[in-house]
């Protein structure tokens, strides 16, 4: 694929639309070896988590269901983090042979974590736009949501510009980044005291 913001946004928009067509996970339309596959999968995880986060806030939710959703969110968060790191590895490989220019600067945010923000932003845009089309609410509600939607659309432009700029800087050897593993501890039975102290 041509790695740029337009392609990334297009994949995320397709993923969001696909999920909402059936309100379930869709078959990934991209070959498993392609970066597009990882991007589509990334947004599908975010989309599932978005709706689980909605459900967990229901006041009538039984405690047993609350625990089930919380554990699902933990699992999705771990999967999301692992996938972002995989995307960063793939992007790093694209620029591996490019020599750094003297004075090249390190970027604190990696391309994949920026892409992560763009993925979640597409969900915000989809659901805020949905609110502007509601017929069962006041015109004031619609207008407030339209104002918020306008801000989200501006943010899409800004994040897209930032992604294209970092990719261009990487291509020119003007910037570099390091992939630091998140090293989440709460899901690791050897690192979370609440888990390893109860193993026995």
Specify whether the CB–CB gap between 7 and 1 falls below 8 A: yes
Residue 199 in this model has a pLDDT that exceeds 70: no
| CA separation for the pair 6, 146 (Å, rounded) | 23
What lies within 8 Å, CB to CB, of 163 at 6+ separation is 4, 5, 8, 111, 114, 115, 118
When pLDDT is cut at 50, 70 and 90, the band that residue 11 belongs to is: very high
One DSSP character per residue, 69-133 reads HHHHHHHHHHHHHHHHHHHHHHHHHHTTTPPPPTTPEEPSS-HHHHHHHHHHHHHHHHHHHHHHT
What is the overall mean pLDDT for the chain?
Answer: 93
* Model pLDDT for residues 155-170, shown as the tens digit of each residue: 999 999 999 999 999 9
Residue 194 in this model has a pLDDT that exceeds 80: no
Please report the pLDDT score of residue 1 as a whole number: 78
Q: What pTM does this model have? A: 0.90
Specify whether the CB–CB gap between 140 and 64 falls below 8 A: no
Question: What does the block give as tokens for 77?
Answer: 């968060």
Q: Is the dihedral of CA 42, 44, 46, 52 positive or negative?
A: negative
Residue 37 in this model has a pLDDT that exceeds 90: yes
- Percent of the chain with pLDDT strictly greater than 90: 84
Mean pLDDT, to the nearest integer, of 26-45? Answer: 96
Mean pLDDT, to the nearest integer, of 55-71? Answer: 92
Specify whether the CB–CB gap between 161 and 9 falls below 8 A: no
* Model pLDDT for residues 81-112, shown as the tens digit of each residue: 999 999 999 999 999 999 999 999 999 999 99
Lowest-confidence range among 6-15, 132-141, 185-194?
185-194
Mean pLDDT, to the nearest integer, of 6-20? Answer: 97
Q: Collapse the DSSP code of 158 into the 3-class scheme (helix H, G, I; strand E, B; otherwise coil) and give the result.
A: helix
* Model pLDDT for residues 116-145, shown as the tens digit of each residue: 999 999 999 999 999 999 999 999 999 999
């Amino acid at each position: 694929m041509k790695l740029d913001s337009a392609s990334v946004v297009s994949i995320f928009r397709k993923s969001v639309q696909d999920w909402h067509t059936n309100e379930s996970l869709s078959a990934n339309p991209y070959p498993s070896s392609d970066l597009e596959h990882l991007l589509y999968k990334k947004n599908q995880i975010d989309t599932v988590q978005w709706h689980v986060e909605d459900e967990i806030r229901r006041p009538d939710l039984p405690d047993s269901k609350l625990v089930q959703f919380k554990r699902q969110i933990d699992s999705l968060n771990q999967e999301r983090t692992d996938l972002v790191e995989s995307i960063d590895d793939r992007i790093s490989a694209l620029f591996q042979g490019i020599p750094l220019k003297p004075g090249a600067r390190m970027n604190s945010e990696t391309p994949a974590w920026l892409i992560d923000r763009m993925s979640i932003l597409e969900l915000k845009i989809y659901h805020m736009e949905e609110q502007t089309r509601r017929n069962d609410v006041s015109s004031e509600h619609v207008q407030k949501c339209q104002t918020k939607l306008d801000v989200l659309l501006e943010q899409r432009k800004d994040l897209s510009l930032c992604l294209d700029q970092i990719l261009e800087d990487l291509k020119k050897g003007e910037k570099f980044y390091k992939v630091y593993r998140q090293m989440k501890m709460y899901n690791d039975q050897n690192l979370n005291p609440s888990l390893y102290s109860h193993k026995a």
